Amino acid sequence: MNRRTTLAGHTYEFPALSDLLAKATPARSGDVLAGVAAESEAQRVAAQLVLADVPLATFLDEQVVGYDEDDVTRLILDGHDPAAFAPVSALTVGEFRDWLLARAAEGDEAAISGLARGLTPEMVAATSKLMRTADLVAVGRRTRVVTGLRSTLGLPGRLASRLQPNHPTDDAIGVTASILDGLLHGCGDAVIGINPATDSPTRTVALLELVDAVISRYEIPTQSCVLAHVTTTLRALEAGAPVDLVFQSVSGTQAGNRGFGVTLDLLAEARAGALELGRGTVGEHVTYFETGQGSALSADAHRGVDGRAVDQQTLECRAYGVARAFDPLLVNTVVGFIGPEYLYDGKQVIRAGLEDHVCGKLLGLPMGVDVCYTNHTDVDGDDTDTLVLLLGAAGCGFVIAVPGSDDVMLHYQSLSFQDVLTARQVLGLRPAPEFETWLGRMELLDDAGRVRDLAPDTPAAKALLAAALP
Amino acid sequence: MTHPEGRSRDFGPPDDPWAVLRGSTRARVALGRAGDGLPTARWLEFRAAHAAARDAVHTALDGDLVRTALTAAGVPLDVLEVRSRAPDRGTYLQRPDLGRQPAEGTELPAGRYDLALVLADGLSPRAVHEHAAGTVAAVLERLPGWSVAPIVLAHQARVALGDPVGQALGAAVVVVAVGERPGLSSADSLGLYLTSGPRPGRADSERNCISNVRPPHGLAYVQAADTLAALLQAARRLGASGVVLKDEGAALPPGGG
């Protein structure tokens, strides 16, 4: 196929589809590390010009990762829904961007959201590469994905949060203190989700029982999750533990998932186990996935057709192709966690967070974002403020929050509970409806519906503390 | 509840019920609010911790400082310096592959040694400044009769740089003491990576790691050295390191992840 263009007297040619996608990608360190990034700004724009003219249907016929070699590609193509694709099947990538912006401006959520099963990760990735920040926000805002288990997530005007009460030794009192702190700040409506310090089944069951006890005692309309490996969660299910959600990190290639020690069959088995428990009240979504640009490259699992490296954002979208096969309650990208060799600074992290959010939602996923950074990345609180406010404007389903922004187990910084309150206040967003009602019942809201800054001697605060801590 | 690193923050008046929450975890709970945001004092505390971590990443490894500290600790070995192929910090952070290879033209004197020690800046040169000499002295004390190569100070270096360096020196085992990625409350943590039969291409599964050497809050030098010496003896006996050593039951410190 002739994929070339001339720009300012220089002819640029892109021999493979994966090469075209990579060269068209806005700058990020991971693509440089993989050796696939554009070598000049002009080459990047040339690739975007060529990509804009590629028909969307091309991605059904031409693969970046081979069908025969990779079960993620098979999952994506075998699950493609031609009827859902029909409204945009004649469009090019560039025309599809225009179509999305027009529907977003009209507020036609049904038209955009109805495409999900007709779109492939590669189509969505390609289109996002032609979008700027405001496009990513505008389209994200009008792409609706609603899920539920014991709280309803993704409704318009809502911003939920995962309360992440991690502790370096999984200490029960330490974890409980962080849970209480989060609840008192109106956080935890998406999930109370702990990253365990070790992957031991015994520890996982103990943590599941701990969070389940808190949720039951206060009758909180939310769900718990211990983010252990799926095989550990299977063991917990066998042991009869109160498993609300099956968690797993997933990748966009079969090799990447092998690196995580998971297969599609394992995920299906665990999901079936959790569904059988019937723990939902408002829905039946029982899986939770995390992803992040660069995870395939870091596992040396980033190659596709003819051994060519695939850019990290396209691979990230393919991970969403895995997640959506298991009807998740929650999916989030851990956007600033993986390090500066994949996303170098605030500009790259902000861009990636917005891309991941809109691409996941276009593919039908209930997307959240862990707005976060490590200390060797050139990112700080100003950047995370920018990203969370943009995500709030983009209709992001949930964000992750830890006490004081400091995850004392994983040693990185995510949002604080206060950051969630600020984003809700600035943008006029509210918690998940069931959770908001619960906050009111617990006397944690003022007359205006804002989470109260509780004086320590208020009855509500005293009651919570007395019941939780010995 | 005890928590090894304590907390430097004000716990508030003793009748403050939030103190129960604060005292039960190192997590930054019950910080209070200014409107919906953090109160100024809490915000600036966080800024200070982040600044320390950022500065730890971007401080340059000071060879003279480390030499002086080694001499003061009574380490009798010569000290050589090498650089990786990453010419500066920005490149180092974005190109881990370059940090694993010696700069072009790097020459090291070949010998036959039981052990080579590489002090690598990694993500926290400050950890090397503060803890490398004490660690090396404690390790050498526990290895009487071992022939040890000149110490190599490595700039813009990742752990795997120890593979070509150890091979060039002719060492049976290499130990890389490397500055670990700073956390908000731990900007000076040193990690020790042991690799038997160093040569380029060794996998991470062929290494053993002792993490968080950082007295007084983390592992003490003597504890780290005891564990490392036991691992070194086992590696010498087996002619291998990594997963196979762990299977041998060599004790690893608690909480070293």
Query: What would the pLDDT profile of A201-231 be if each residue is shown by its tens digit?
Result: 999 999 999 999 999 999 999 999 999 999 9
**In the predicted model, is pLDDT for residue B11 greater than 50?**
no
Instruction: Search chain B and give the residue with CA nearest A170.
Output: B25
Q: Is the peptide bond before A456 cis (omega within 30 degrees of 0)?
A: no
Contact A33 B33 (CB under 8 A): no
pTM of the predicted model over 0.95: no
Query: For A47-82, how does the pLDDT look when each residue is reduced to its tens digit (9 = 90+)?
Result: 999 999 999 999 999 999 999 999 999 999 999 999
Q: B68 — contact with chain A (CB < 8 Å)? A: no
**Quick one: which H or E segment has residue A6?**
strand A4-7
Give residues 164 to 193 of B whose Cβ lies within 8 Å of A.
181-187
Query: What's residue B5's pLDDT?
Result: 41
Distances (CA, A) of A253 to A60, A120, A428: 17, 14, 39
pLDDT at B13 over 60: no
Chain B residue with minimum CA distance to A425: B36
Chosen CATH of A147-441 out of 3.40.50.720, 3.20.20.70, 2.30.42.10, 2.60.40.180 = 3.20.20.70
Q: Which chain B residues are within 8 Å of A169, Cβ to Cβ?
A: 255
CA A74, CA A17: separation in Å to the nearest integer?
A: 18
Neighbour tally for A4: CB within 10 Å: 12
pLDDT at A2: 77
3-state secondary structure of A324: helix
* Residues of A in Cβ contact (< 8 Å) with B54: 375
Report pLDDT for A312: 98
**CB proximity under 8 Å: A 410-469 to B:** 411-413, 416, 418, 421-422, 424-425, 453, 456-457, 461-462, 465, 469
**Rounded Cα gap, residues B183 and B28, in angstroms:** 14
Question: Residue A399 in 3-state DSSP?
Answer: strand
At A426-454, the pLDDT tens digits run 999 999 999 999 999 998 999 999 999 88
Task: Choose, out of B25, B59, B123, the residue to mutate when testing the contact with A (most A CBs < 10 Å).
Answer: B25
What is the structure's pLDDT at A458?
A: 74
B105 touches chain A (CB under 8 A): no
- Helix ranges (DSSP H) in chain B: 18-23, 40-58, 63-72, 89-94, 96-99, 125-141, 162-169, 221-238, 243-247
| Long-range contacts formed by B30-33: CB under 8 A, 24+ apart | B30/A181, B31/A403, B31/A404, B31/A416, B31/A418, B32/A453, B33/A418, B33/A421, B33/A453
The verdict on a CB contact (< 8 Å) between B255 and A169 is yes
Flag if B50 and A413 touch (Cβ within 8 Å). Answer: yes
**Any A CB within 8 A of B36 CB:** yes
* B193-236 pLDDT, tens digit each: 999 999 999 988 899 999 999 999 889 999 999 999 999 999 99
Second-level CATH architecture of B63-247: 3-Layer(aba) Sandwich (3.40)
Which pairing describes strands A398-402 and A415-416: parallel, antiparallel, or unpaired? parallel
Instruction: Identify the closest residue of chain A to B180 by CA–CA distance.
Output: A376
Number of other CB atoms surrounding residue B23 within 10 Å: 16
pLDDT digits (tens, 9 = 90+) for A289-311: 999 999 999 999 999 999 999 99
| Closest-CA distance of chain A to residue B40, Å | 13
Does B31 touch chain A if contact means CB atoms closer than 8 Å? yes
In a mutational test of the B interface, the residue from A179, A338, A388, A408 whose CB has the highest number of chain B CBs within 10 Å is A408
- The span from the CA of A312 to the CA of A319, in Å, is 11
- Measured between beta carbons, the chain B residues lying within 8 angstroms of A405 are 28, 46
Domain boundaries, chain A: 11-141, 147-441
First to last CA, chain A: 70
Cα dihedral sign, B245-B249-B252-B255:
positive
- 10 Å CB burial of residue A303 (0-12, 13-18, 19+) is buried
Name residue B174's beta-bridge partners: B116, B195
CATH superfamily to which A11-141 belongs: lyase (1.10.220.70)
CB pair distance less than 8 Å for B46 and A174: no
Q: Considering only CB atoms, which chain B residues are within 8 Å of A411?
A: 181, 183-184, 186
Q: Please check whether the two domains, A11-141 and A147-441, share a CATH topology.
A: no
From A195-199, B30-34, B92-96, the region with the lowest mean pLDDT: A195-199
| Cα gap A267→A306, rounded to integer Å | 29
Residues of chain A contacting residue B182, judged by C-beta atoms under 8 Å apart = 375-376
CB A274 within 8 A of CB A286: yes
- The answer, for A242 touching chain B at a CB cutoff of 8 Å, is no
Lowest mean pLDDT among A293-302, B20-29, B175-184, B217-226: B20-29
What average pLDDT does the segment A313-329 reach?
A: 98
Inter-chain residue contact A422 with B36, CB threshold 8 Å: yes
Out of B17, B24, B257, name the one closest to residue A174 (CB): B24
Hey, are the CB atoms on A174 and B257 less than 8 Å from each other? no
Interchain contact B212–A (C-beta under 8 A): no
**For A309, which DSSP code?**
B
What's residue A454's pLDDT? 81
- In this prediction the ipTM stands at 0.93
Residues 319 through 378 of chain A touching chain B, CB cutoff 8 Å: 340-341, 344, 374-377
CA A311 to chain centre: 18
- Of the pLDDT bands very low, low, confident and very high (cuts 50, 70, 90), residue A460 is confident
Q: Decide if A469 and B181 are in contact by the 8 Å CB cutoff.
A: no
Amino acid at A431: P
Percent of chain A with pLDDT over 70: 98
Residue A439 CB burial class (10 angstroms; 0-12, 13-18, ≥19): buried
B219 reaches A (C-beta below 8 A): no
Q: Where are the domains of chain B?
A: 63-247
What is the DSSP secondary structure assignment for residue B219, as one 8-state letter? B
pLDDT of residue B247: 52
The residue length of chain B stands at 257
Return the number of CB contacts < 8 Å for A and B: 136
What is the C-alpha separation between B182 and B57, in angstroms, rounded? 7
Residues of B whose CB is below 8 A from A180: 21, 29
Residues A78-97, mean pLDDT to the nearest whole number: 98
